[in-house]
Amino acid sequence: MELFTKTLFLCLALALTNGAPALQQDAAVEDAALPDRCEGIEFDAITPDEKGTTFFFKGPHLWKGYHGSAQPSNEHFKELDDIHNIGHVDAAFRMHNIDNPDKHDHIYFFLDDKVFSYYNHTLEDGYPKQIQDDFPGVPTHLDSAVECPKGECMADSVLFFKGHDVHLYDITTKTVKTKTWSHLPVCTSALRWLEHYYCFHGHNFTRFNPVSGEVNGTYPKDARNYFMGCADFGPIYMRLDTHRDGLHAFPITRAWKEVTNGVDAVFSYTDKIYLIKDDQVYIYKAAAHYTLIEGYPKTVKEELGVEGRVDAAFVCPDDNTVHIIQGQRILYVDLTATPRAVTQNLPLPLDGIDAALCNAKGIDLFKGPQYYHYESPMILAMGRMAPLPENITSTMMGCQD
């Protein structure tokens, strides 16, 4: 049996500080004013940036990535504030136009009849502009937008949504074709992820075909089970008994009932499965019913000699070392040692890693909708520059929706 934990890119969600007593009351008041996407929020816009980090927008706030708390939007895009009369955005997308490097991977925000272009979180000179100046034929006061590369659409395009009308904008010819998809909910935000297209409405989403608008499968689905880390929703794991039968999704608590709020990292070693959440590690026997070993959970410090939040972990086949990723560091821990302790602490040319996997083909480090491949732990340890990212595909993960 093969086991896949579902961090968002597979089909999962994850999720988190402490403050001096004198600041706790002020922090509590400030936190109370922040929106909580786990309460069921209808997003204004969703878009990845040029580095692949997905941002979710609501009013003057945003969420960076798939877990964590809301932040003021102007902390990442400084013009998105009331002073510049951009307290929110109507729609957003990341441009896909490889033939035009001056525009490729730039983020476009739309508000009323204006468009704003950002690169590296910096507003480009000459913006804002009228929408008609950059996207002739596209209406104002949009509901949402999403890029559609050639091969998924007939040409590099952008889908602009307003009500049930979809305005398909050809980036090369600068022409617009308008369709009406009355069968699709009004999309208040839209996202392209793993070569699939998602229309967000309320706290739900519906997957659709970008050419025909066709919806296959059972929808809508609750976004809190798939696109964010919420304590009372998801997370799930994917189990593969045979390739013929395919993957099946189950709540994590079905197999590991003590782990109620998702996991930060997971690895297996000597017929045991290690699940790490916050500063706790749960060790289960890997037999059919996954029994928690007596005496667990223990702290990560006590079990592995590691302090601080763990972003990802992996053990390679026939190896006795667990590799722990924390921010831009990778720690090596010898699992045969007693007590266990960090034997190497090396820099990592990447940050924000969601999960990691090691098999006979090498190591894959997953970040959002992309992954970075290394041939071996030695190449990973010696590397000072990150390899080019590759897109995670549905086939790779065995996901159908």
Q: What confidence tens digit (pLDDT) does each residue in 110-156 have?
A: 999 999 999 988 999 999 999 999 999 999 999 999 999 999 999 99
- What is the model's pTM? 0.61
Structure confidence at residue 401 (pLDDT): 47
Phi, psi of 131 (to 5 degrees): -55, -40
User: Is pLDDT larger for residue 66 or for residue 295?
Assistant: 295
Q: Of 38, 36, 40, which Cα lies nearest the Cα of 61?
A: 36
User: Is pLDDT larger for residue 85 or for residue 347?
Assistant: 347
Distance CA(170)–CA(59), nearest Å, equals 29
Structure confidence at residue 178 (pLDDT): 97
Structure confidence at residue 338 (pLDDT): 93
The amino acid present at 108, given as its one-letter code, is Y
Structure confidence at residue 71 (pLDDT): 92
Residue 7 — pLDDT band, cuts 50, 70, 90?
Answer: very low
Q: DSSP letters of 80-94?
A: -SGGGT-SS-SEEEE
Distance CA(102)–CA(300), nearest Å, equals 46
User: For the segment 361-390, what is each residue's pLDDT rounded down to a tens digit?
Assistant: 999 999 988 999 999 989 998 888 999 999
The amino acid present at 347, given as its one-letter code, is P
Distance CA(401)–CA(399), nearest Å, equals 6
Lowest mean pLDDT among 161-165, 199-203, 224-228: 224-228
Distance CA(185)–CA(60), nearest Å, equals 25
Lowest mean pLDDT among 15-19, 376-380, 391-395: 15-19
Residue 30 — pLDDT band, cuts 50, 70, 90?
Answer: very low
Q: Find out whether 66 and 14 touch, Cβ atoms under 8 Å.
A: yes
Structure confidence at residue 14 (pLDDT): 31
The amino acid present at 9, given as its one-letter code, is F
Distance CA(272)–CA(270), nearest Å, equals 5
Q: What ranges make up the beta strands (E) of 163-223?
A: 165-170, 175-180, 189-193, 196-201, 204-208, 221-222
Distance CA(281)–CA(266), nearest Å, equals 9
Residue 250 — pLDDT band, cuts 50, 70, 90?
Answer: low
Structure confidence at residue 100 (pLDDT): 86
Structure confidence at residue 347 (pLDDT): 94
Average pLDDT over residues 301-311: 95
Residue 190 pairs in a beta bridge with: 199
Structure confidence at residue 85 (pLDDT): 57
Structure confidence at residue 102 (pLDDT): 86
Q: Of 168, 207, 170, which Cα lies nearest the Cα of 187?
A: 207
280-285 sheet: strands from edge to edge: 265-269, 272-277, 280-285, 298-299
Residue 331 has pLDDT above 80, yes or no: yes
Average pLDDT over residues 179-207: 94
DSSP state of 37: G
Residue 27 has pLDDT above 70, yes or no: no
Structure confidence at residue 25 (pLDDT): 36
Distance CA(26)–CA(28), nearest Å, equals 5
Residue 22 has pLDDT above 90, yes or no: no
Q: Of 392, 373, 351, which Cα lies nearest the Cα of 193?
A: 392
Q: Of 170, 121, 162, 125, which Cα lies nearest the Cα of 145?
A: 162
- Which stretch of DSSP H or E encloses residue 63? strand 61-64
Structure confidence at residue 10 (pLDDT): 37
User: For the segment 256-302, what is each residue's pLDDT rounded down to a tens digit?
Assistant: 878 877 789 999 999 999 999 999 999 999 876 789 999 999 999 99
Q: Of 331, 259, 339, which Cα lies nearest the Cα of 292?
A: 259
Name, in order, each residue with C-beta under 8 angstroms of 145's C-beta and a sequence gap of 6 or more: 45, 91, 92, 93, 108, 110, 158, 159, 160, 161, 190
Q: Of 95, 52, 44, which Cα lies nearest the Cα of 70?
A: 44
Structure tokens at 293: 């070993």
The rounded percent of the chain whose pLDDT value lies above 90 is 62
Q: Count CB atoms within 10 A of the CB of residue 10.
A: 22
Tell the burial category of 61 from Cβ atoms under 10 Å away from its Cβ (0-12, 13-18, 19+): buried
Q: Count CB atoms within 10 A of the CB of residue 219.
A: 16
Q: Find out whether 215 and 225 touch, Cβ atoms under 8 Å.
A: no
